[in-house]
Structure 1
Amino acid sequence: GFVLEFHFEPNVYFTNTVLTKTYEIKCDVDETDPFSYEGPDIVGCKGCTIDWKKGMNVTVKTIRKKQKHKSRGSVRTVTKTVQNDSFFLFFSPPNAGGEGNELDGDTEAILAADFEIGHFLKDRVVPRAVLYFTGEAVQDDEFDEDEDEEEEDDDDEHNEDDDEDEENDPDYVPKAKKGEPPAECK
């Protein structure tokens, strides 16, 4: 497997200086069909415990709701703690359950996304960490987007075959030729 380590300066939110996420990998090759092997599979992951300072856990938020009793009409305030979207939920993945246990669709989708993120960080971000730090990796990404836009522009160039389609279109309005007045609305 592999371990991703995230190093932090002292901060007001938690006491950890390093947060880790460990991925377990299975490298089983089917003996009867070894050519079908597509590489190692992530079979599980485990995050570390984050030691949040009092009242600073950004992964949860407290909601207060007023509820009115139907028959008595009395009002009470209910306080509920709910999960808040945060990067730090990355360190609390759902349990993969082990072999033989079935996962529901949502849990399976969350784990698949988690495994994909773990692979992406390991294979793409970590080897280029210095480039991200210096900003060069971001410039490369912008260059790739410019190339994509140029390809789209090439697709948008005028095609003579399009003229036939335009003439058959009921909303088609022919362009006025130079020196002619525009077509009159009827």
Structure 2
Amino acid sequence: MEADSEAKVRRRVNALRNLQVNSTHIEARFYKEVHELERMYSALYQPLFDKRRKVVSGEVEPTDEECEWQSDPEDEAALAEELKKKAAIEEKTEDANEENPKGVPEFWLTIFRSVDMLSDMLQDHDEPILKHLQDIKVTFSGPDQPMSFTLEFHFEANEYFTNSVLTKVYKMKSEPDSDDPFSFEGPEIIDCEGCEIDWHKGKDVTVKTIKKKQKHKGRGTARVITKQVPNDSFFNFFNPIKVSPDKELDEDSEYTLATDFEIGHFFRERIVPRAVLYFTGEALEDDESFEEEELEEGEEEDQDDEEEDDEEEGDSKPPDAPQPAECKQQ
């Protein structure tokens, strides 16, 4: 009789599991519609981002009315000083172009330098190239296409490569796994695809040339050969690790790919929509405050756990035995 009751309960639990599976499929539809909303609203944001690009590049000079901004005088002074450092604008210079800089010099390069996640990838030889970066855009896949988003890095004509736009496509999945539907937590990046950079001769910063001395075993003569080897560079970002369904990645490759996905998401969610705040450092302060709050909450939880452990240990200890009286010296 008891076994029969347990079987009935298990049967009902299985029905609840099926309801949960149906719920995950509805959730997947929700995220697909969110993606479509993002695509629709990106068209509304784009005119503002286009205006930002024109101001940054110096193509458009904003009006006095557009430049009005109420802020604390001390904050303004600090910002002015910071901008001098970031944009490398000297107050006294013989160059008239530097006295009246075009647009906002080194806007995107300054952001790269300021954001830890990006500065970790940045090398000295990347900086002259990124001075030519004019804009970063995010585009979303259409309603009849597999879910994805694309980062577009727009460059002015330069001496390093012929591309005017470098792209990175992030492919996403928003479907519950048939083998493990309960693991679904929303869209996830599953793969990414870069682009080929058409480097001018001798300007490819993703490789370096090394010289190696070879000695002939029989003759004893030596010769020097040159070979190209990979070089650390931000521009390796456009040549990501290839994901193969038939081959498992090693631990280092998995970490590299996960970091790549995180960077792509950060560009999409933070850098592109809030670029000026990362340039001024205001967004960095917000990010740091958020991290500090998370850390404090984590520390409090750890402290609470320790106190609970101490209480449990205290409850399990027997009462302290009376201490023997001290021996008096004769």
Length-normalised TM-score, structure 1 = 0.68
Distance 2:276 2:214 in 1: 53
Q: CA deviation at 1:70?
A: 4.3
Distance 1:124 1:45 in 2: 19
**Equivalent position to 2:248, from 83, 88, 102:** 102
Distance 1:86 1:33 in 2: 38
Q: CA deviation at 1:88?
A: 0.3
In structure 2, the residue matched to 1:69 is 216
Q: CA deviation at 1:22?
A: 0.1
- Kindly report which structure 2 residues correspond to 1:12-161, keeping only aligned pairs within 5 A, or say none: 12-30=159-177, 36-97=183-244, 99-138=245-284, 140=286
Distance 1:108 1:4 in 2: 21
Indicate the SS of the match to 1:65.
strand
Indicate the SS of the match to 2:169.
strand
Q: CA deviation at 1:138?
A: 4.2
Aligned-residue sequence identity (percent) comes to 63
Indicate the SS of the match to 2:263.
helix
Distance 1:9 1:133 in 2: 20
Moved more, 70-79 or 81-90: 70-79
Cα 1:138/1:103, change in 2 over 3 Å: closer
Counterpart AA for 2:227: K
Counterpart AA for 1:106: D
Length-normalised TM-score, structure 2 = 0.40
Counterpart AA for 2:176: V
Cα 1:129/1:105, change in 2 over 3 Å: same
Indicate the SS of the match to 2:186.
coil
Distance 1:79 1:30 in 2: 49
Cα 1:2/1:58, change in 2 over 3 Å: same
Distance 2:231 2:251 in 1: 21
1:10 is aligned to 2:161: no
Distance 1:135 1:40 in 2: 30
Cα 1:55/1:31, change in 2 over 3 Å: closer
Counterpart AA for 2:191: G
Give CA-to-partner distance per residue, 1:17-48, whole Å, 9 cap, x none. 21110010011125797664222121111011
> How many residue pairs are counted as aligned between the two chains?
148
Distance 2:220 2:235 in 1: 41
Structure 2 spans left out of the alignment, 5+ residues: 1-147, 300-330
Q: CA deviation at 1:103?
A: 2.4
Counterpart AA for 2:158: N
Distance 1:114 1:34 in 2: 26
Distance 2:209 2:259 in 1: 27
Normalized per residue, which structure has more strand?
1
Q: CA deviation at 1:112?
A: 1.5
Cα 1:3/1:73, change in 2 over 3 Å: same
Indicate the SS of the match to 1:127.
coil
In structure 1, the residue matched to 2:134 is none
